[in-house]
């Protein structure tokens, strides 16, 4: 009982920065050629049209889901933001072909850690688009989602693309 009384609680920042998770060109979510993302049915976020296939963690957090088809990763950030990185559009039908996952569910990740490597040429051949949306799936639990970059080139792990504040 006394231990709990004197134990220091680590303060968790309510506001976090999400870095570019792949090198490429930033797109507004509204410009993604898929209504599920463009109409923000799963939550708010941003997208990047990649120039390489190396997907990295945009935040410090924990891997909460690796889809069996390897086309999407779920991360829970330190402030509670739930992040979905969806690699390409209509890539679920590829059944993991061309995707190499570098993390497992439950793994702790830091900004810039390798998550997935994808063969973009194969995605171009077999899917609708290579664009990679990033969605805050619990957007309603966040007090703000600020998009710091709305267009232009970004380099993986370098630029802050979103600032997310929890309630």
pLDDT in tens, 39-87: 999 999 999 999 999 999 999 999 999 999 999 999 999 999 999 999 9
Domain limits, the chain: 12-166
The answer, yes or no, to whether residue 8 has pLDDT greater than 60, is no
Q: Strands (DSSP E) along the chain, which ranges?
A: 15-19, 24-28, 44-50, 54-56, 61-66, 72-77, 82-86, 99-101, 108-109, 114-118, 132-136, 142-147, 152-154, 160-166
The answer, yes or no, to whether residue 4 has pLDDT greater than 70, is no
pLDDT digits (tens, 9 = 90+) for 130-141: 999 999 999 999
The answer, yes or no, to whether residue 101 has pLDDT greater than 90, is yes
This prediction has a pTM of: 0.93
Owner of token pair 């702790």: 108
The answer, yes or no, to whether residue 98 has pLDDT greater than 90, is yes
Instruction: Give residue 133's pLDDT.
Output: 98
Which one-letter DSSP state was computed for residue 122? H
Say how many C-beta atoms besides its own lie within 10 A of residue 128's C-beta: 14
The answer, yes or no, to whether residue 5 has pLDDT greater than 80, is no
Instruction: Decide which of 2.70.70.10, 3.40.190.10, 2.40.170.20, 3.30.930.20 is the CATH code for 12-166.
Output: 2.70.70.10
Catalytic residues: 86
Average pLDDT, the chain: 95
Please give the average per-residue pLDDT across 137-153, as a whole number: 97
């Amino acid at each position: 009982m006394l231990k709990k009384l004197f134990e220091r609680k680590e303060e968790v920042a309510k506001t976090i920065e999400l870095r570019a998770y792949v090198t490429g060109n930033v797109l507004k979510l509204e410009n993604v050629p898929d209504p599920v993302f463009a109409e923000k049915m799963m939550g708010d976020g941003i997208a990047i049209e990649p120039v390489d296939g190396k997907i990295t963690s945009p935040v410090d957090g924990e891997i909460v889901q690796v889809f069996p088809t390897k086309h999407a990763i779920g991360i829970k950030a330190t402030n509670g933001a739930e992040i979905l990185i969806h690699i390409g559009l209509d890539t679920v039908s590829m059944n993991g072909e061309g995707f190499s996952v570098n993390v497992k569910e439950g793994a702790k990740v830091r900004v810039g850690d390798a998550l997935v490597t994808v063969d973009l040429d194969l995605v171009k051949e077999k899917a609708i688009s290579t664009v990679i949306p990033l969605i805050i799936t619990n957007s309603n639990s966040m007090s703000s989602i600020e998009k710091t970059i709305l267009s232009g080139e970004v380099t993986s792990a370098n630029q802050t693309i979103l600032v997310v504040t929890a309630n």
